[in-house]
Amino acid sequence: MLALVLVIFAWLKWVGPLPGDRAAADGHWRVWRYPGDIRSLIGFFDTLATPWIAAGTVLALGAIVFENLGRRWALLIVAASLVVILNAILKHVFGPTPLWLEHHDYGRNFPSGHVAYATALFGMVAWIARRHGQRAIELTSIALIVLMGIDRVISRAHLPSDVIAGYLVGGAWLCLVIALLAPAGSEGLGRRLP
Average pLDDT over residues 112-125: 96
Average pLDDT over residues 71-98: 92
Please report which confidence band the pLDDT of residue 38 belongs to, taking 50, 70 and 90 as the band edges. low
Q: Considering the chain, what percentage of its residues have pLDDT values greater than 70?
A: 85
Rounded to 5 degrees, what are φ and ψ at 187? -55, 120
Residue 93 has pLDDT above 80, yes or no: yes
For helices 83-94 and 113-131, the axis angle rounded to 10 degrees is: 150
Number of continuous H segments (helices) and E segments (strands) in the chain: 10, 0
pLDDT value at residue 170: 97
d(CA 43, CA 59): 22
Average pLDDT over residues 122-138: 95
pLDDT value at residue 103: 76
Domain ranges in the chain are 45-181
Query: pTM for this one?
Result: 0.86
d(CA 114, CA 43): 13
111 upstream amide cis, omega within 30 of 0:
yes
pLDDT value at residue 194: 53
